[in-house]
Amino acid sequence: MVAAASVVVALGTAAGLLTALGDGDDGDDPRGADRARPKVSATLLSPSTVNPPSPSGSPSAAAPTARPTPSPGRTARKPRAAAVTTSLYRHPESQVLDWVRANPADPRTAVIESRIASRPAAVWFTEYAPDTVTSRVRAVTAGAAAQGRVPVLVAYAIPDRDCGGASEGGAPDLDAYAGWIDAFAAGLGSGEVVVVLEPDSIAQTDCLGDAGRAGRLAALARAGRVLKAADPKARVYYDAGHSGWNDPAEQAALLKRAGAASAASSDGIFSNVSNFHRTADEVAYDRRVLDALGGPPGLGAVIDTSRNGNGAPTGGEWCDPDGRSIGRAPTFRTGQARIDAYLWVKLPGESDGCKGSAGEFSPSYAYELASS
């Protein structure tokens, strides 16, 4: 249940400001036992106008012609080669930055600027716009390359997105999605980039029939292969839901069908996108998923820590719940085996739809998260 925001973003090479990376606060309390589906807002890179994602038709039942590549058996994990670049990129256009620039005298600005706006966050691509997505992706990757930093991109255009919920939209069918992924991949360039591939797309397949599920998983397997073939330095991560959702073995079985166990398409998994589960719980969950997934020893996990500083609320509440806090700052230096990064995939302050319109920046919500 991913609610995407729209924000006008300037195209071309982006300069931006350098961002210091550090660790945020994170507790160790046990997680709640909710199984609520996450709902995500986004910093959307839009061609020229502010528009929500357009509605889509039903996905095609037929899978793309490309099939997942069988993965080798898992052996003892070898250390991942050190990245040439270890700092994440902050794109200079986002809703929170727009608000900070427009409200210098607001008493909340200093806190929001220092604790949220200064952090690198993911850039989402939610529109099915195959004619422009290459240039929009290239604008972000070129801006990051100019600073010697690593951008985080979210590809979010799978057909039947969000099972027709608040974030419905995406490509009209799987063949169209394959073309969109090809165009997306063409903008990656040759540098390091992290791609968060389709939040909820694997954990949330219960609304699809057998043919639709098979088609989606095959489309994701193809997408990973295309992305990594276009840029061998791209790190592609697949949807593992979160620690309060599917059983690790169940999630791993779906991930394997989606190509997440193949080095040709995957660098591992992501979890907790737009959710609130504590980092320690996600680390334990992700390791269990990776163990069940198998595949090459280099597979790892990235965790969305943007709003998990106080953990998940009880009762499965997911829509802008009170009492939440920002979590650990985005970084590749996690100090945790098999955990490749803590990322801010969901930008704190962008509403789930209760403290503002879904996906729109709420300064009061941002201040609450930043000052808790």
Q: Cite the active site residues.
A: 162, 200, 352
Rg (CA), the chain: 19
Contacts by 24-28, CB closer than 8 A, 24 or more apart: 24/305, 24/309, 24/326, 24/327, 24/328, 24/329, 25/309, 25/325, 25/327, 25/328, 26/278, 26/279, 26/280, 26/305, 26/308, 26/309, 26/327, 26/328, 27/278, 27/309, 27/310, 27/311, 28/278, 28/280
- The neighbour count for residue 314, using CB atoms within 10 Å, is 11
- How far is residue 261 from each of residues 65, 131, 181, 199, measured CA to CA in Å? 19, 31, 20, 17
Residue matched to tokens 């169209």:
176
What are the strands, taking DSSP E only, across 152-232? Answer: 152-155, 193-197
Q: Which residues of 27-40 are buried (b: 16+ CB within 10 A; e: fewer)?
A: eeeebbebebbbbb
Give the HSE-up count for residue 332: Cα atoms under 13 Å, Cβ half-sphere.
Answer: 18
